[in-house]
Chain A
Amino acid sequence: MFPLNLVDLSVRRRGKLVLGPIDLVIDQGGPTMVIGPNGSGKTTLLRVMHGIERISEGAADWAKPDHANHSYVFQSPVVLRRSVAENLSYPLHLVKFTKLEINAAVEYWIERIGLGKVANRSAACLSGGERQKLAIARALIRGPEVLFLDEPCSNLDGQSTREIETLLLETAIAGTRVIMATHDMGQARRLAADVIFMKSGRIAETGLAPVVFNAPKTPDLQAFLKGDILE
């Protein structure tokens, strides 16, 4: 499946350039944290990689394209108007797993995210943290090779954030390539193996996490890490 090559890639919306031009190679490894101020193009970059954003110029090519092999978790978790268990089983029904396989996978994931007691309750009754955990488990239930997450812990309390970070680290250790956008620098430092810093729709700096965080090269990243406001 890897590498993913983004070549001279741009995204325009109503004629306005919102991303690019970008040249980037994503290979195995990670977790990768995409950081940058609001409106810097983090979400658009993830959507392009996942293949749900229309590319205006350039190309995003996976070595072995298989959309079913990557999953995406949105900033505001989308829960289906179904029970917690049915939310989890939904992606498996789409690709015709057997009933036995579906039940086993749902049982495993529902216990893993600690929602066993509310399996048959409507997912709308869950708290924000529980919804996000459900969304992540639903994204992982088909065993994707790549997991994209768009600020999954924004607006969550400390405990939910910690649980989600643990789940993501376990996922990364298990072999899933985690690529995540975040504006929480503490979280980026805790999770990142490598970092992509974005500014005004372009990649301003990339590198291994210790290098990027301890010796940032660009003035923009230095200012961002200091907590300055970037325009």
Chain B
Amino acid sequence: MNDITQGLLAALRLIVTFDAELWEISLRSLKVSLTAVTIASAVAMPFGAFLAVQRFKYRRLVISIMNALMGLPPVVVGLIFYILLSRSGPFGVFGLLFTPWAMIIVQIVIITPLIASISHQAMRELWAEYHDLLISLNTSKWQRIKTLVWDGRRNLLTAGLAGFGRAIGEVGAIMIVGGNIENATRVLTTAIALETGKGDFALALGLGFVLIGLALFVNILIHWLSRTEREGRW
């Protein structure tokens, strides 16, 4: 209990004193996670809608694989991308290892199946509702996907936020490919792991509370901006 109180106090102190390092790693956490969510959403949401409207031979298999990939172990993803991005690896020439971009790439890989799966679920329900109308209006496949994505945007927001939650709380993969380098790739989760390793539980907890606060703030902000739950029916 004492540790938690101290953690809360440490978090307050860090925030009130505008601790420069805290701001830097918090902003980096946000930047990495939001970039990953944006890119992953741009791919995963239309893909989820595509799977809802398009029938093809191995559709069920693709959906099963996509759902299974939601449980992808981040440490393994981190390890694979470490090998791929290291100097001797096939993508070593790009010099991405131990940069924020390496962290963004692994986060995209981890959260894309999650966002696609939740999006697919939401789009499937909407497609069942819209199917007859959109077929009757002779819409093209692309027009159907666009309509579903637009009209289901609030459900898709949930998918995006689930992806954001997973991304900002992720530590294993980004520790491996990012390296937790001070002023370069250190983010809140890797900083917490570092402080815990050093035995500074109060600071680790303090950073943990900041991380939770940040995740809550982004969720509430996005819900507020998108006017979710304001209208009675949708």
Contact of A68 among B132, B138, B143 (CB under 8 A): B138
Closest-CB distance, A98 to chain B (whole angstroms): 18
| A interface residues, tally (CB under 8 Å) | 17
Check if A72 sits within 8 Å of B136, measured CB to CB: yes
Residues of B within 8 A of A90 (CB): 137, 147
Residues of A within 8 A of B147 (CB): 80, 90
Check if A125 sits within 8 Å of B232, measured CB to CB: yes
Q: Which partner residue on chain A sits nearest B143 by CB separation?
A: A94
Check if B231 sits within 8 Å of A78, measured CB to CB: no
Residues of B within 8 A of A122 (CB): 231-234
Residues of A within 8 A of B135 (CB): 52
Check if B130 sits within 8 Å of A80, measured CB to CB: yes
Q: Which partner residue on chain B sits nearest A123 by CB separation?
A: B233
Q: Does B182 contact A (CB under 8 A)?
A: no
Residues of A within 8 A of B231 (CB): 122
Check if A50 sits within 8 Å of B136, measured CB to CB: yes
Which of A80, A91, A124, A125 has the most chain B CB within a 10 Å cutoff?
A: A80
Closest-CB distance, B8 to chain A (whole angstroms): 42
Q: Does A213 contact B (CB under 8 A)?
A: no
Q: Does B229 contact A (CB under 8 A)?
A: no
Q: Does B38 contact A (CB under 8 A)?
A: no
Q: Does B133 contact A (CB under 8 A)?
A: yes
Check if B132 sits within 8 Å of A94, measured CB to CB: no
Can you list 22 contacts pairing A with B, beta carbon distance less than 8 Å? A50-B136, A52-B132, A52-B136, A67-B138, A68-B138, A72-B132, A74-B132, A74-B133, A74-B136, A78-B130, A78-B132, A80-B130, A80-B133, A80-B147, A80-B151, A81-B151, A90-B137, A90-B147, A94-B138, A122-B231, A122-B232, A124-B234
